[in-house]
Amino acid sequence: MSAETDVTAYDTPTRTHARLVDTTAPKRPRGVALVLHGGAARQRPARVSPTQLSVLRMVPVAGRLAVAGRGELAVQRLLNSSRGWDAEHTPVDDVRWALRQVAERWGAHVPVCLIGHSLGGRAALLAADADQAVSAVALNPWLHPTEGRIDLTGRDVLVVHGDEDRVAPPAHAAAVARDLARTARIGFVSVRGAKHAMLRRGHVFERLAADFAVSTLLDRPANGIVARVLAGEGWLEA
């Protein structure tokens, strides 16, 4: 059963209203999967609701990760401070805050995989340079095509994008993936017939995210597409 940790906190120099929700939390996990939601901004700043659709869409992703982790993986969902992408306090700031919470709870040595959808996918990639992060999964990430010019040396990255996504252009994600490939081991998987909400062929997104996180965090042998990505194949279809 999921348990919400009330972790509204005061950080320097900004205040965060982010919250973490446990999907599974073993006492001594070998790795942590941090699940990040998307969601558009409102006309006025608004707090994230646990019942908004973009948050709920990540619940089955977190559940799949928990099952795949077999008690060795802690899975937490991050609820951002506010909806959308506030330029003064972005979801990346919330991710970095969440990583500090993970380090305080389980130790800075525990590796983390960041898994996000839409703007959460953007945050996962932009925050993947953190010392704790060993891998990142971006599902239909909403990106600017120049945002891949960051150094992710030593990280494993998976981008999964529906080829019929009309909200987050796959071409932008592909451009970012090409840039990231200069430093990271990265795979870009195009999912045929899938749209932004990951409702059609959603099981593909969930399976790939879980398989990649488990393989990179727990050093388990991978199969199928994830095995091919980790073997060095960069561009695949599902």
pLDDT tens string, the chain, 238 residues long: the values are 444 443 433 343 445 789 999 999 999 999 999 999 998 766 667 788 888 999 999 999 999 999 999 999 999 999 999 888 877 789 999 999 999 999 999 999 999 999 999 999 999 999 999 999 999 999 999 999 999 999 999 999 999 999 999 999 999 999 999 999 999 999 999 999 999 999 999 999 999 999 999 999 999 999 999 999 999 999 999 9
Contact indicator for 151, 233 with CB cutoff of 8 Å: no
Any bridge partners for residue 188, and if so which?
A: 159, 235
DSSP state of 222: P
Distance CA 79, CA 76 (A): 10
What angle, 0 to 180 degrees and rounded to 10, lies between the N-to-C axes of helices 202-218 and 59-69? 40
141, 167 in Cβ contact below 8 A? no
Cβ–Cβ contacts within 10 Å for residue 62, how many? 24
Find the farthest-apart pair of alpha carbons in the chain and give their distance in angstroms, rounded: 47
CB contact at 8 A, 136 and 128:
yes
CA 38 to CA 52: how far, in whole Å? 10
pTM, 2 dp: 0.92
Spatial distance between the Cα atoms of 234 and 184, rounded to a whole number of angstroms: 11
Q: Name the phi and psi angles at 35, rounded to 5.
A: -100, 130
Hey, how many other C-beta atoms are within 10 angstroms of the C-beta on 153? 9
Sign of the C-alpha dihedral computed for residues 87, 12, 34 and 5 taken in this order:
negative
User: Which residues, in sequence order, are CB contacts of 178 under 8 Å at separation 6+?
Assistant: 148
- Do 115 and 35 contact (CB within 8 A), yes or no? yes
